[in-house]
């Protein structure tokens, strides 16, 4: 491989490596509109598989898809004070349409709580109409000043779930259930382990009662907020008069939840699994799970090898997503490099000598280990290998996270040095005072990612606050974040 083809290494510049990889692997490209991106077919193929998996999981938990308008009356956002304060700096506003000044400006959807709950108020009359479980796949616009492909762009794709319930406990159970759905997807499909827990008041969603989050560690030891789930209480229901007749004959306001995940998951996949040779895509999300690279020197060999390759593809169809790279304008080595860059989980090398032995050579993208496999058993062996790769990618990512997590007593000076250096997930005590939380953020740029769920907490709870030394009211996971 020539030097000009090599990616920037992660050690040299992680941010440059990420941008270089997203562009070179043709996941996305910069749009003529500043801060926006074009998602290319390979990137969109990953998103399609994410959508299908998540959509199946949503429907399995009783949710149905709907669609709501892109434009929201500005007055709707202004009805909920915390909501408008949280989103006002990020909104894009349409003031003219059809060559005329609009009577009321329209906000381009930054999130849909306001317009969805206004519609819910029309549809819900009685406790018999509840729960109302809705999801929509859509695009949103948030006017970010500093953007990065997939991670933070003016426009991005996502899903947003919105539900209405008769009681607080039902809404709380829904918010927690959907957090669990996200975790299951991220770990089972993305092979990206996450820490779940509750956000602090300073970090919760604008207008929410409580916010829960999935936090993943990237290879630069920063956190990525990968998915959030919110118990919105009755705030939006009261604003939009979302009332219902209770079973006892009285009236009450509905309890709402919302939850979402976006195309930033693709960025998370890149930064969790990519290496200095390119992408490493978990098999479940790979648009192409295996690529056959035929090898030949003569026309006679070409005919023989391609015939075998097409027969192999026919056998694999319906079992494995496979592609044959039959281009005769590139040498095999150049093809190997390209498919490694794109992160296809398995490369199948097939040449005349392999056919003489009735075998092919399987090359794992994650470990780059080669193994000869008999053609008679290739389909079954390949299916088993893909399962192994999926499992081992999760295991490796989880091991890496734990190796870069700090538990137990740590001084504030040591914490500051760690955040100035290589970073980590630091499990430390917090007194519950927002002033300490803000002071640490101002000093180190680290934030409380979550107050972790019980299974992630340290065996021995920290006794004192990381910053002030007062008694700790909870354990917190601190990290720098995207």
Indicate the SS3 state at residue 122.
helix
User: Is residue 423 domain-shared with residue 377, that is, in the same domain?
Assistant: no
Indicate the SS3 state at residue 470.
coil
Residue span of the structural domain in which 466 resides: 405-479
Q: Has residue 321 been placed in a domain? A: yes
User: Is residue 96 domain-shared with residue 239, that is, in the same domain?
Assistant: yes
CATH number of the domain that residue 264 is part of: 3.30.930.10
CATH number of the domain that residue 373 is part of: 3.40.50.800
User: Is residue 123 domain-shared with residue 252, that is, in the same domain?
Assistant: yes
User: Is residue 58 domain-shared with residue 22, that is, in the same domain?
Assistant: yes
| Closest-CA residue to 430 (of 213, 198, 179) | 198
pLDDT of residue 339: 98
pLDDT, tens digit, 9 for 90 and up, residues 301-338: 999 999 999 999 999 999 999 999 999 999 999 999 99
Query: 283 exposed, middle or buried (CB, 10 Å; 0-12, 13-18, 19+)?
Result: buried
Q: Which helix (H) or strand (E) holds 400?
A: helix 378-403
pLDDT exceeds 90 at position 126: yes
User: Is residue 40 domain-shared with residue 117, that is, in the same domain?
Assistant: yes
Instruction: Kindly indicate the confidence band of residue 149, based on its pLDDT and cuts at 50, 70 and 90.
Output: very high
| Closest-CA residue to 341 (of 22, 2, 13, 25) | 25
- How many other CB atoms are there within 10 angstroms of residue 307's CB atom? 12
Phi, psi for residue 444 in degrees, rounded to 5 = -125, -10
- How many other CB atoms are there within 10 angstroms of residue 305's CB atom? 22
User: Is residue 216 domain-shared with residue 356, that is, in the same domain?
Assistant: no
Q: Has residue 71 been placed in a domain? A: yes
pLDDT of residue 86: 76
Q: Over the chain, what is the mean pLDDT?
A: 96
| Closest-CA residue to 213 (of 226, 231, 200, 232) | 226
Indicate the SS3 state at residue 51.
helix
Q: Has residue 361 been placed in a domain? A: yes
Overall domain count for the chain: 3
| Closest-CA residue to 112 (of 157, 76, 78, 85) | 76
Q: Considering 357, 388, 419, which residue would you say is the last residue of a domain? A: 388
Q: Has residue 281 been placed in a domain? A: no
Q: What is the 3-state composition of the chain as percent helix, strand, coil, each rounded to the nearest 5?
A: 40, 30, 30
CATH number of the domain that residue 437 is part of: 3.30.110.30
Tokens representing residue 439 in the block: 């002071």
**Could you tell me if residue 26 is left (phi over 0), alpha (psi between -120 and 50 degrees) or otherwise beta?**
left
pLDDT, tens digit, 9 for 90 and up, residues 81-125: 677 777 878 899 999 999 999 999 999 999 999 999 999 999 999
Handedness of CA 118, 119, 125, 129 (dihedral sign): negative
User: Is residue 253 domain-shared with residue 185, that is, in the same domain?
Assistant: yes
User: Is residue 333 domain-shared with residue 469, that is, in the same domain?
Assistant: no
User: Is residue 370 domain-shared with residue 420, that is, in the same domain?
Assistant: no
Contact 159, 50 (CB under 8 A): no
Tokens representing residue 330 in the block: 């590139």
CA distance 213 to 64: 23
Task: Report the alpha-carbon angle 446-443-464, nearest 5.
Answer: 70
User: Is residue 248 domain-shared with residue 333, that is, in the same domain?
Assistant: no
pLDDT, tens digit, 9 for 90 and up, residues 406-422: 998 899 999 999 999 99
């Amino acid at each position: 491989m020539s030097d000009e083809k090599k990616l920037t290494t992660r050690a040299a510049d992680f941010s440059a490596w990420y941008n270089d990889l997203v562009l070179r692997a043709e996941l996305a490209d910069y749009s003529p509109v500043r801060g926006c991106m074009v998602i290319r077919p390979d990137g969109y193929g990953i998103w399609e598989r994410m959508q299908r998996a998540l959509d199946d999981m949503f429907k399995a938990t009783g949710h149905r898809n709907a669609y709501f308008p892109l434009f929201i009356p500005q007055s709707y956002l202004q009805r909920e004070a915390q909501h408008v304060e949280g989103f006002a700096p990020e909104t894009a506003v349409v003031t003219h349409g059809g060559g005329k000044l609009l009577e009321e400006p329209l906000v381009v959807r930054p999130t849909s709580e306001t317009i969805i709950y206004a519609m819910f108020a029309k549809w819900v009359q009685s406790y018999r109409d509840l729960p109302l479980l809705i999801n929509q796949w859509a695009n949103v616009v948030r006017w970010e000043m500093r953007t990065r492909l997939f991670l933070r762009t003016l426009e991005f794709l996502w899903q947003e779930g919105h539900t209405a319930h008769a009681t607080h406990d039902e809404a709380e159970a829904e918010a927690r259930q959907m957090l669990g759905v996200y975790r299951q997807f991220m770990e089972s499909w993305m092979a990206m382990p996450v820490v779940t827990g509750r956000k602090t008041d300073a970090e919760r969603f604008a207008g929410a009662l409580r916010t829960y989050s999935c936090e993943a560690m990237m290879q630069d030891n920063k956190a990525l907020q990968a998915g959030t789930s919110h118990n919105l209480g009755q705030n939006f229901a009261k604003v939009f008069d979302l009332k219902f007749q209770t079973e006892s004959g009285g009236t009450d306001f509905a309890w709402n939840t919302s939850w979402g995940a976006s195309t930033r998951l693709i960025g998370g996949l890149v930064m969790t699994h990519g290496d200095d040779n390119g992408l490493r895509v978990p098999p479940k999300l790979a648009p192409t799970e295996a690529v056959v690279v035929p090898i030949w020197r003569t026309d006679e060999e070409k005919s023989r090898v391609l015939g075998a390759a097409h027969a192999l593809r026919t056998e694999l169809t319906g079992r494995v997503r496979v592609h044959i790279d039959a281009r005769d304008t590139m040498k095999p080595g150049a093809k190997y490099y390209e498919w490694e860059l794109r992160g296809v989980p398995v490369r199948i090398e097939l040449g005349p000598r392999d056919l003489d032995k009735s075998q092919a050579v399987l090359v794992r993208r994650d470990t780059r280990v080669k193994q000869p496999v008999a053609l008679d058993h290739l389909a079954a062996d390949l299916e088993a290998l893909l399962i192994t790769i999926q499992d081992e990618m999760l295991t490796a990512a989880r091991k890496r996270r734990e190796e870069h997590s700090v538990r137990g007593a740590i001084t504030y000076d040591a914490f500051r040095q760690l955040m100035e250096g290589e970073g980590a997930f630091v499990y430390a005590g917090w007194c519950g005072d927002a002033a300490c939380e803000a002071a640490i953020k101002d000093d180190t740029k680290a934030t409380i990612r979550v107050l972790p769920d019980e299974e992630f907490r340290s065996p021995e709870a920290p006794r004192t606050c990381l910053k002030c030394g007062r008694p700790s009211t909870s354990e917190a996971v601190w990290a720098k974040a995207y």
